[in-house]
Amino acid sequence: SLFMITLKRSTMSIRYRLTWITPPQTLEEIDYLFQWINSYLTEQAILPVRSLSDLKIQPLFDPKESLSIQFKFDVLNAAVAEKLRTTLWRDVFQEQIQGPHPFVVSLVAETGAVEPKKLVVFDMDSTLINQEVIDELARKVGVYEQVAAVTEEAMQGHLNFQEALIKRCALLKDLSLSEVLSLADELSLSPGAEALLRTLKTHEMKTAVVSGGFQVLLNHFQNQYGLDFVYGNELQVSPQSLLTGAVIPPIVDAQAKQDLVKRLKEQLGLNQNQVITVGDGANDLKMMQEAALQVSFCGKPKLAEQVNTLILDRNLGWLNSLL
């Protein structure tokens, strides 16, 4: 149609890249995915990809044998791309797709995809590491159930992050600093994280952790893995080296996370296209706005529904395939 031809030729259109990483597929399955994605493009009045030969299909073997399938197409504006992303993500979450469920899905403007990345910012709990630190500390004190109840209150929207953190930290009163530090040896990096950090260092990319967790443990991980920047919350400690149950302000919440990433970008002289943010929860949502590649790592729905990149398989090594 005339509309579609005009759309294709418009100098105002924006090129997008959809990356779909799955277990190995047969040619028949790839063709089905091709037709399926094209149906979404057509639904949003986007000119479909012409043929299978226009796809970039690449076998991957790390972190596991897989296939990276890349679609490129032009959209009239970012709002159209956002509508497409929302629709696709909905069906990914609801498993409305036939064929192998993807390990990774990413829909990013080509300008944001191709510019070399200089900074990767991670959340800590359940992202860079497998555990939630405050839960592990609560187990040491024997107050896990009480802490979990406060967490649930926050998840139900009855408490904001700051209120929930203050309430949970109060339950850790009189835990010794040595016990907090001993937890460092019990925490484990998420699958693929150690190899990823080595790769980022090899490519001279800066690494940062911006966390609602605790600075004292972040310092340990910084020393152990050579992280460039770490920012977290400071626990107040008594002269007897016991936790007082208080958190020293300012508290690192969602807004503070965004402000810290913004400050890092300014400090390093970077633009949005040079930054990746990786997290798993609603507290990471604001900092995602500072990056071209916004990664939900097996994230909770409130985050995953709003970012442009989903890692659905619990291995941070998948991030390598998007660099």
Question: How many Å apart are CA 72 and CA 56, to the nearest integer?
Answer: 9
Provide the residue type at 280 as one letter.
D
Residue 34 to residues 61, 98, 100, 123, 205: CA-CA distances in angstroms? 22, 12, 13, 34, 34
**Known catalytic residue: 74?**
no
19-28, 92-101, 234-243, 300-309: lowest mean pLDDT where?
92-101
Joined tokens for residue 114:
């191709």
Expressed in percent and rounded to 5, the helix, strand and coil fractions of the chain are 45, 25, 30
In eight-state DSSP terms, residue 132 is -
Q: What percent of the chain has pLDDT over 70?
A: 96
For 73-84, the pLDDT digits (tens) are: 999 999 999 999
Neighbours of 59 (CB within 10 A): 9
Tokens of 22: 């799955």
Provide the Cα torsion 263, 268, 273, 277; round to 10°.
Answer: -60
Q: What is the rounded average pLDDT of the residues 202-215?
A: 96
Residue with tokens 């510019």: 115
C-alpha 44: how far from chain center? 26
Q: Considering the chain, what is the average pLDDT of its residues?
A: 92
Quickly list H helices, 142-192: 144-155, 161-170, 177-182
User: Which residue in 123, 253, 259, 280 is the catalytic one?
Assistant: 123
Tokens of 113: 């995809």
| Residue 315 or 7, more confident | 315
Task: Fill in the amino acid letter for 224.
Answer: Q
Range in 6-15, 17-26, 75-84, 136-145 the model is least confident about: 6-15
Residue type, 77: N
pLDDT score recorded for residue 59: 96
Task: Please check the confidence at residue 183 and state whether its pLDDT lies above 70.
Answer: yes
CB atoms within 10 A of CB 81: 22
| Interior/surface letters 108-126, b for 16+ CB within 10 angstroms, e for the rest | bbeebbeeebbbbbbbbbb
pLDDT of residue 160: 87
Four-point Cα dihedral 195, 205, 218, 282, nearest 10: -90
Q: Supply the pLDDT for residue 155.
A: 67
pLDDT digit string, tens, across residues 114-153: 999 999 999 999 999 999 999 999 998 899 999 989 988 8
Q: What is the pLDDT of residue 4?
A: 44
Which pLDDT score is estimated for 195? 96
Catalytic residue among 31, 74, 125, 313: 125
Based on the residue annotation, tell me whether 228 is a catalytic residue of this protein. no
Closest CA to 121 of 4, 283, 196, 230: 230
Lowest mean pLDDT among 9-18, 212-221, 242-251: 9-18
Percent of the chain beyond pLDDT 90?
Answer: 86
Helices (H) and strands (E) in the chain, counts: 13, 11
- pLDDT at position 100: 86
Say how far apart CA 304 and CA 150 lie, in whole Å: 23
| pTM of the entire predicted model | 0.93
Q: What confidence score (pLDDT) does residue 11 get?
A: 53
